[in-house]
């Protein structure tokens, strides 16, 4: 592969290959820093293969990944290579092993390679490639008593955990609401805390804060336990703010106004001076004199007093003294400035006190909610994801237990491999440290495996701090380098081989994309928070010499809003195109032109030059920072141009149109008299009224809409069909659980087909998820339609679509969801915006960041009412957020393989620090040589909605032969077909297959449709008759009626007593009929299995394995009867389909071998009737096998 590379690229490739070989070396512990697209997954899988080749047991390897998808992909890749070795020729196997090992394999290695796949399959649980949560769950399942938990616990998924937490929150709030001072003092204290918080927060902010504090359960517990109790933690918060818990706002303000704490003499002179000044100064002087005379401050008067010296923002007034007053009394300026500074200090202290009080109130509520949540989990015998991590961490750190756990893990774990280590949180690192504690100390370090029989115990870690974008899940990218240094030092002390490597060559992106990435981040401190090395390491492109480009389009500016004349009649619609709409339309138009417009067939811009083909919809990925209105606009624009699009990667279930239709349908069944709900159902896809029909039904009606539909059902066929359909569903709602109700609606009543016809195939995912949730609800709760709808509305479930493979459609997703993915063309349209600063808990340095002190939290005040401590913590948090946004930009840019297009739209507010557009623009302009300036004009695609402006472009031309998607060079001449492709294939013998008597494997007449009212009853009737004819003849005659009626009256059959009696009477009449006496008389048997081999006329054989519905064997003859329960009955033998005749002829041929001396006859019993039809031997011989 590297023979075509030249110069610096060849040298970089050789170095990368050498590093990859070192990374896969099983004799070393290795720490790998791998840039985007540098083949880290390949190194990881190669290492696993080499460990297995070196003799390691699959059970003693543990590979930890970040997501289940990554674990499945790695397991698939490794299993695929192992399985290919099993069947490979010796030459191919040696070539594969030589490429893996970097040398020619030994004979024993080739022998072992062929057995590895079987070893992997035989290993208990296979290869241990798991997420850390899955691993912790498996550990706790094996060691519940050692961990101090109940065996057979339930692992809560995110939805179940949120449901339990919400229930615990409601429990505490209910107790607080009903609190009485004497009976529940703790709840009464919480009542005061709740009253304080609710008074200063909106409902949404209050809910977010409660959710935020309970989401930090681990930190909260560490804080409470670390300080010896909740109240001690509260005291520590006051101490950090230089306050005491007994201090109140009234006392603080009163102290500020106490005699001796201010310059009375100076302020008196200032008040007198104000009295001789301007009118505004005179007003201020009078107010100051009044306060000096009263000498008292309270929280209400304090604000007015501060206004004399400070602005609304809390800053000193610029004109404390006018020029004339200052010239007359220059010494008073210092007096005013000193008082202003004193008031600022008092205000800051008051803000700190407000923060302390609010934090204490929030912590008291949050702690009790957390305790209630813990109780709920114990009652449910359940653990959430955080619990499992913390329990395993403690289990592996407990003296005397850790070694036992290691021993029982199939004799211990010898090799730990960690993928995506940059996203590992501190508690997860502690779990990993518990697993590898003995690798570099004690027996583990001194263990001698140098004999070559087994590789030494090893640690392999791979990650890229530049791609750490999951800070909200606790990821700490700086730990990656810190842990590297720690384990390298421990390995050195234990005299164990350890290698730290970097992989900087990208096998994914073309040179212009990597040049743009380097230009953006290798300047002006931009690498801070992205690269944690001393200097930025430039990327190297394996695809040097291949065509690629980076384009920076001019942004869409907001249009100037022309004020509307309020008195002008609205005769002409005034359309206002939002910037996001215009950009969405442009991207959709561009993709359509590049992929589907015949006019672009000869345009080079419509081709992937590096792959020598035209662009396809599946080549495009659109990445956004958040799911917002732009995403919906883009999906709509793409669909309007018939460009295949997968929609967004996540969606809220209850916000999807098909689910809204199903919920409206359910609400109608609960309350048919609700006119709006019924109108929604009638207009929806399940009934499909048009506007005219709905208006005709609603106009001049008397009473409810449902009564109007019932009264006018004979006026219009559409009204009759709708009324019959809805009435049928109303009859089911009290008898079926919600899942059965909706499953029948979507399947038997064609509901899914009707919804898809209107909303398109993307409605399938929400419908499937809805049914899955309905089934889950029916299993976990007492099933009721009203309960299901309430549960769904409270759930807030999101659907995560699998967009890892393009599937030939445009993919739109967040950058977080695109982690690990790639595409030939990537759009970055979400490059502007505004910063949001939601109030949330701030955590001080402590155990959560590697320190020894317990963590401590603080709730900051409003923007102008913050303490110095909270301001510093907020500045630190904003810096961390800014750095993570930079890393997010790095991830977004490096998803592109061939072309990267950066664009954007501006809104009314664009106050975001370091918007992506500006960062990319500054980087491209700073390149040497700089990017080429180009004038863009988009009116060609959007007409008057287009815009124009300058942009930047960097590109490279295709210099070598293009590569196909499979990675092979495009061939210049056709390949001759092999000889076997031109020969007629030999006829294959029929495989052994079961031939069910009522379901032959060949094509048979269509069944009677189970859809619709009449057809459904016929279908059900046939099945019930079949079952009765199978079982009743074998019962004593006096028991047949009782047993048959008991069977038919089971609720699942849905038969009334009259229908059951009638059906049973018909069936018993058939059994008792003289014409059928031989069929159901003595010597007859039901469901008789038979297997045999029949030679066909062409010399081949059919193996028949069947079950005959009814078989009668007498001294002279054999009668074969087959039931046809859900097929239309043939009127004569001539009407019997040939497939049935062939089936019965096969049975006859088989039974003739068993009973060669008897006459074998065949008959069909049509349950629709019922009627017995004898088949003549002549007709059977015509269809003999």
CATH number of 1044's domain: 3.90.320.10
Q: Are both 1007 and 1108 inside the same structural domain? A: yes
SS3 assignment, position 1146: helix
Q: Are 197 and 189 in contact (CB under 8 A)?
A: no
CATH number at residue 722: 1.10.486.10
Q: Is 40 within any annotated ligand binding site?
A: yes
Q: Are both 1007 and 947 inside the same structural domain? A: no
- Which residues make beta-bridge pairs with 623? 813
For 1142-1183, what is each residue's pLDDT tens digit?
889 989 988 998 898 999 999 988 876 667 888 998 888 888
Q: What percent of the chain has pLDDT over 70?
A: 88
Q: How far is CA 296 from the centre of its chain?
A: 60
Q: Are both 772 and 817 inside the same structural domain? A: no
Report yes or no on 399 lying in a domain: yes
| 175 — pLDDT class (breaks 50, 70, 90) | confident
Mean pLDDT of all residues in 679-692: 92
Nearest CA among 540, 432, 531 for reference residue 486 = 432
The residue out of 771, 799, 827 marking a domain boundary is: 799
Q: In this predicted structure, which of 515-529, 670-684, 1079-1093 has the lowest mean pLDDT?
A: 1079-1093
pLDDT at 624: 95
Q: Are both 721 and 706 inside the same structural domain? A: yes
Report yes or no on 589 lying in a domain: yes
Report yes or no on 288 lying in a domain: no
- Which residues make beta-bridge pairs with 651? 799
Q: Is 35 within any annotated ligand binding site?
A: yes
Q: Are both 553 and 476 inside the same structural domain? A: no
Q: Are 1010 and 1152 in contact (CB under 8 A)?
A: no
Assigned token pair, 419 = 């993928």
Mean pLDDT of all residues in 385-404: 88
pLDDT at 949: 94
Q: Are both 738 and 620 inside the same structural domain? A: no
Q: Are both 643 and 739 inside the same structural domain? A: no
Q: Are both 686 and 769 inside the same structural domain? A: yes
Report yes or no on 1140 lying in a domain: yes
Q: Which residues contact 475 (CB under 8 A, 6 or more apart)?
A: 422, 423, 424, 425, 468, 469
Whole-angstrom Cα distance, residue 32 to residue 462? 5
Q: Is 41 within any annotated ligand binding site?
A: yes
Q: Would you call 725 exposed, middle or buried from its count of C-beta atoms within 10 A (0-12, 13-18, 19+)? A: middle
| 1018 — pLDDT class (breaks 50, 70, 90) | low
Assigned token pair, 125 = 């649980």
Report yes or no on 309 lying in a domain: no
1002, pLDDT greater than 70: no
Q: Are 36 and 466 in contact (CB under 8 A)?
A: yes
Report yes or no on 409 lying in a domain: yes
811, pLDDT greater than 70: yes
pLDDT at 996: 44
The residue out of 747, 775, 799 marking a domain boundary is: 799
Whole-angstrom Cα distance, residue 1165 to residue 1109? 10
Q: Is 39 within any annotated ligand binding site?
A: yes
pLDDT at 453: 63
| 806 — pLDDT class (breaks 50, 70, 90) | low
Domain coverage including residue 704: 656-799
- Quickly list DSSP for 81-134: HHHHHHH--HHHHHHHHHHHHSSPPPHHHHHHHHHHHHHHHHSTTSSEEEEHHH
pLDDT at 1011: 37
Whole-angstrom Cα distance, residue 254 to residue 1139? 101
The residue out of 754, 775, 799 marking a domain boundary is: 799
Whole-angstrom Cα distance, residue 80 to residue 683? 52
Q: Are 351 and 865 in contact (CB under 8 A)?
A: yes
Radius of gyration (C-alpha) of the chain in whole angstroms = 39
How many folded domains does the chain comprise?
Answer: 4
**325 compared with 1019, residue with greater pLDDT:** 325
Strands 29-34 and 458-463: parallel
Whole-angstrom Cα distance, residue 835 to residue 626? 12
Mean pLDDT of all residues in 65-92: 89
Assigned token pair, 206 = 């209050």
* pTM (whole model) above 0.85: no
Nearest CA among 209, 130, 122 for reference residue 169 = 209
Q: Are both 644 and 675 inside the same structural domain? A: no
- Tell me which residue has tokens 């810096």: 879
Q: In this predicted structure, which of 49-53, 772-776, 896-900 has the lowest mean pLDDT?
A: 772-776
Q: Is 1131 within any annotated ligand binding site?
A: no
For 256-311, what is each residue's pLDDT tens digit?
888 788 888 998 999 888 888 888 888 888 888 888 887 667 777 888 888 889 88
Q: Are 878 and 253 in contact (CB under 8 A)?
A: no
pLDDT at 403: 81
Q: Are both 954 and 1063 inside the same structural domain? A: no
CA distances from 785 to 20, 248, 578, 782, 964 (A): 58, 52, 41, 10, 54
For 848-864, what is each residue's pLDDT tens digit?
444 567 889 999 987 77
CATH number at residue 47: 3.40.50.300
Q: Are both 392 and 497 inside the same structural domain? A: yes
Q: In this predicted structure, which of 255-259, 279-283, 485-489, 733-737 has the lowest mean pLDDT?
A: 255-259
Report yes or no on 437 lying in a domain: yes
Q: Are 285 and 274 in contact (CB under 8 A)?
A: yes
Assigned token pair, 69 = 């998808």
Report yes or no on 1071 lying in a domain: yes
pLDDT at 329: 86
Q: Are both 1006 and 1150 inside the same structural domain? A: yes
């Amino acid at each position: 592969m590297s023979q075509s590379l030249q110069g610096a690229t060849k040298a970089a490739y050789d170095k990368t290959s050498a590093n990859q070989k070192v990374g896969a070396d099983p004799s070393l512990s290795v720490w790998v820093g791998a840039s985007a697209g540098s083949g880290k997954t390949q190194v990881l899988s190669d290492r696993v293969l080499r460990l297995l080749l070196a003799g390691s047991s699959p059970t003693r390897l543990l590979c930890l990944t970040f997501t289940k998808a990554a674990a499945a992909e790695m397991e698939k890749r490794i299993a695929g290579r192992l399985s290919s070795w099993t069947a490979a020729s010796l030459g191919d196997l040696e070539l594969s092993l030589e490429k893996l090992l970097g040398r020619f394999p030994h004979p024993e290695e080739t022998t072992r390679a062929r057995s590895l796949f079987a070893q992997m399959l035989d290993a208990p649980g296979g290869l241990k490639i798991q997420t850390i949560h899955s691993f912790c769950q498996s550990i706790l399942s094996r060691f519940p008593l050692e961990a101090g938990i109940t065996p057979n616990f339930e692992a809560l998924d995110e939805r179940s955990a949120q449901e339990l937490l919400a229930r615990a929150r409601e429990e505490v709030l209910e107790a607080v609401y009903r609190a009485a001072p004497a009976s529940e003092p703790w709840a009464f204290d919480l009542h005061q805390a709740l009253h304080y918080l609710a008074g200063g927060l909106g409902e949404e902010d209050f809910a977010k804060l409660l959710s935020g504090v309970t989401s930090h359960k681990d930190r909260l517990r560490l804080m409470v336990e670390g300080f010896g109790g909740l109240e001690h933690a509260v005291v520590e918060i006051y101490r950090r703010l230089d306050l005491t818990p007994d201090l109140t706002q009234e006392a603080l303000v009163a102290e500020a106004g106490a005699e001796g704490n201010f310059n009375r003499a100076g302020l008196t002179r200032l008040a007198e001076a104000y009295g001789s000044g301007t009118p505004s100064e005179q007003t201020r002087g009078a107010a100051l004199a009044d306060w000096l005379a009263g000498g008292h401050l309270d929280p209400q008067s304090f604000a007015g007093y501060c206004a004399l010296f400070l602005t609304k923002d809390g800053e000193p007034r610029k004109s404390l003294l006018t020029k004339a007053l200052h010239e007359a009394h220059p010494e008073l300026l210092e007096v005013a400035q000193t008082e202003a500074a004193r008031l600022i200090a008092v205000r800051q202290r008051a803000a700190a006190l407000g923060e302390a009080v609010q934090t204490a109130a929030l912590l008291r509520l949050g702690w009790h909610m957390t305790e209630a949540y813990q109780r709920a989990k114990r009652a449910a015998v359940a653990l959430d994801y955080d619990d499992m991590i913390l329990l395993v961490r403690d289990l592996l750190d407990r003296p005397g237990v850790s070694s036992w756990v290691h021993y029982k893990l199939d004799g211990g774990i010898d090799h730990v491999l960690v993928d995506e280590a940059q996203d590992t949180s501190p508690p997860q690192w502690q779990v990993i440290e518990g697993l590898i504690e003995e690798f570099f100390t004690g027996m583990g370090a001194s263990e001698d495996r140098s004999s070559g029989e087994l590789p030494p115990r090893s640690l392999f870690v791979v990650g890229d701090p530049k791609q750490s974008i999951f800070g909200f899940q606790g990821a700490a990218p700086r730990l990656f380098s810190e842990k590297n240094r720690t384990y390298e030092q421990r390995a050195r002390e234990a005299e164990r081989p350890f290698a730290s490597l970097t992989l900087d060559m990208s096998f994914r992106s073309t040179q212009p994309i990597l040049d743009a990435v380097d230009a953006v981040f290798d300047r002006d401190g931009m690498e801070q928070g992205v690269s944690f090395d001393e200097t930025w390491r430039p990327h190297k492109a394996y695809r040097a010499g291949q065509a690629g480009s980076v384009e920076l389009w001019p942004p869409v500016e907001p249009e100037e809003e022309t004020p509307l004349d309020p008195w002008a009649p609205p005769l002409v619609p005034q359309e206002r195109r939002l910037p996001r709409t215009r950009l969405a339309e442009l991207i959709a138009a561009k993709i359509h032109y590049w992929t589907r417009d015949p006019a672009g067939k000869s345009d080079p811009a419509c081709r992937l030059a590096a792959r020598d083909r035209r662009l396809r919809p599946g080549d495009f990925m659109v990445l956004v920072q958040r799911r917002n209105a732009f995403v919906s606009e883009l999906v709509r624009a793409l669909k309007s141009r018939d460009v295949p699009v997968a929609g967004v990667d996540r969606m809220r279930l209850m916000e999807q149109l098909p689910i809204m239709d199903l919920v409206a349908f359910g609400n109608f069944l609960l309350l048919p008299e609700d006119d709006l709900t019924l109108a929604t159902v009638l207009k929806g896809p399940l009934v499909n009224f048009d506007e005219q029909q709905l208006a005709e039904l609603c106009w001049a009606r008397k009473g409810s809409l449902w009564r109007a539909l019932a009264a006018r059902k004979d006026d219009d066929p559409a009204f009759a069909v709708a009324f019959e359909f809805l009435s049928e569903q109303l009859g089911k709602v009290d008898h079926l659980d919600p899942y059965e109700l909706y499953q029948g609606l979507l399947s038997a009543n064609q509901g899914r087909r009707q919804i898809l016809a209107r909303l398109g195939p993307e409605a399938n995912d929400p419908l499937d998820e809805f049914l899955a949730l309905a089934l889950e609800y029916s299993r976990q709760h007492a099933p009721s339609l009203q309960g299901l709808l309430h549960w769904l509305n409270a759930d807030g479930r999101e659907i995560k679509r699998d967009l890892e493979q393009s599937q030939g459609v445009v993919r739109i997703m967040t950058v977080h969801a695109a982690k690990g993915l790639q595409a030939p063309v990537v759009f970055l349209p979400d490059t502007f915006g505004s910063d949001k600063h939601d109030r949330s808990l701030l955590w001080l340095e402590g155990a959560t960041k590697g320190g020894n002190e317990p963590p401590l939290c603080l709730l900051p005040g409003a923007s102008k009412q913050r303490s110095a401590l909270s301001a510093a913590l907020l500045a630190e948090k904003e810096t961390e957020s800014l750095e993570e946004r930079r890393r997010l930009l790095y991830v977004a840019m490096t998803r592109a393989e061939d072309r990267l297009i950066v664009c954007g739209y501006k809104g009314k507010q664009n106050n975001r620090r370091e918007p992506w557009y500006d960062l990319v623009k500054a980087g491209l302009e700073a390149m040497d040589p700089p990017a080429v300036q180009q004038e863009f004009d988009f009116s060609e695609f959007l007409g008057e909605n287009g815009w124009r402006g300058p942009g930047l472009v960097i590109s490279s031309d295709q210099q070598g032969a293009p590569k196909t998607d499979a990675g092979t060079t495009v061939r210049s001449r056709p390949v001759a077909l092999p000889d076997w492709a031109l020969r007629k294939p030999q006829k294959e013998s029929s495989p052994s297959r079961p031939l069910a008597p009522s379901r032959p494997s060949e094509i048979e007449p269509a069944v009677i449709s189970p859809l619709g009212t009449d057809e459904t009853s016929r279908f059900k009737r046939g099945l019930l008759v079949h079952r009765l004819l199978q079982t009743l003849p074998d019962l004593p005659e006096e028991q047949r009626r009782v047993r048959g009626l008991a069977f038919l009256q089971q609720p699942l059959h849905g038969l009334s007593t009259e229908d059951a009696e009638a059906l049973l009477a018909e069936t018993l009449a058939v059994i008792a009929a003289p014409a059928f006496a031989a069929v159901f008389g003595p010597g007859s048997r039901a469901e008789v299995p038979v297997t045999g081999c029949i030679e066909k006329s062409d010399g081949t054989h059919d193996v028949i394995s069947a079950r005959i519905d009814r078989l009668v064997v007498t001294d002279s003859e054999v009668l074969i009867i087959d039931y046809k329960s859900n097929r239309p009955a043939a009127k004569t033998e001539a009407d019997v389909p040939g497939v049935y005749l062939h089936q019965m002829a096969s049975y006859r041929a088989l039974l003739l071998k068993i009973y060669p001396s008897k006459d074998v006859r065949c008959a069909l019993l049509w349950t629709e009737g019922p009627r017995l039809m004898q088949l003549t031997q002549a007709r059977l011989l015509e269809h003999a096998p």
